[in-house]
Amino acid sequence: MSDEEELDLSALNDEELVEQMHDDLYDGLADEITTGTNILLGRDWSATRVLEEALVEGMRIVGIDFRDGILFVPEVLLAANAMKAGMKILRPLLAETGAETIGKIVIGTVKGDIHDIGKNLVGMMLEGAGFEVIDLGINTDVDQFFEALEEHKPDILGMSALLTTTMPYMKVVIDKMKETGIRDDYIVLVGGAPLNEEFGKAIGADAYCRDAAVASETAKKLVLERRILLAEDA
């Protein structure tokens, strides 16, 4: 039996447990992340606090060592898998509001990009805010986005990109929306670690969202504004 397996996570205090979860995420130990997440929830931590302090912070540490060439793709994939195990538990808690559906969003990670943790989090927070979320997954090309817009007629199109090489693809989608005369039919939100406000403006998005909480607030605000405008025009 390894040291990790012998460690009783429930015997650790909150601070030690969170630190241990950062280590477990780093080591890609999905079962331990599941256990740790459940323990923190059992200690009355909110789902958002577990997400931010244990999971997102753990993944931030992984990201630093990935950048510095200490961790490589296979290890980071395991870490991502462990993160998803924790998110799976938090998902129903984050999405649980009982609120009426306030709008619909089609969201996807753009072509060439397979990062989906941030996008999934955004989807969960939007569900929690009362949105119906149609998630197109990763590596989504312009035709897939267009098909989904046509089929689902959402209020919002959301795009995620984590690579400097894939973020320009968001402009490809927005430009095609302009060319085909449908740009103003939708609110377009973009997000992802390498983006910023300036980029969002430059490509013609309605807003850049720094994180999932901002995405949820912005989505609510812009949908409401749009409804008021449409009502005034009617």
Of 21, 90, 94, 121, the one binding ligand B1M (CB under 6 A) is 121
Q: Which residues, other chains included, contact 117 with Cβ-Cβ below 8 Å and sequence gap of 6+? A: 59, 80, 83, 84, 87
- The bridge status of strand 131-135 relative to strand 156-160 is unpaired
**Least distance between ligand B1M and beta carbon 11 (Å):** 29
DSSP state of 101: P
- What is the C-alpha separation between 21 and 219, in angstroms, rounded? 32
Of 193, 204, 220, 226, the one binding ligand B1M (CB under 6 A) is 193
- What b-and-e string marks burial along 189-217, b requiring 16 or more CB atoms within 10 Å of the CB? bbbbbebeeebbeebebbbbbeebebbbe
**Least distance between ligand B1M and beta carbon 13 (Å):** 26
Q: Which of 215, 95, 213, 204 is nearest to 160 (CA)?
A: 215
**Least distance between ligand B1M and beta carbon 169 (Å):** 11
Of 38, 66, 142, 220, the one binding ligand B1M (CB under 6 A) is 66
Considering the complex, state which of residue 45 and residue 208 has its C-beta at the smaller distance from ligand B1M.
208
Instruction: Verify binding: residue 164, ligand B1M, rule CB under 6 A.
Output: yes
Chain residues that interact with ligand B1M, rule: CB under 6 A: 56, 59-60, 62-63, 66-67, 73, 76-77, 80, 112-119, 121-122, 158, 160, 162-164, 189-194, 209, 211-212, 215
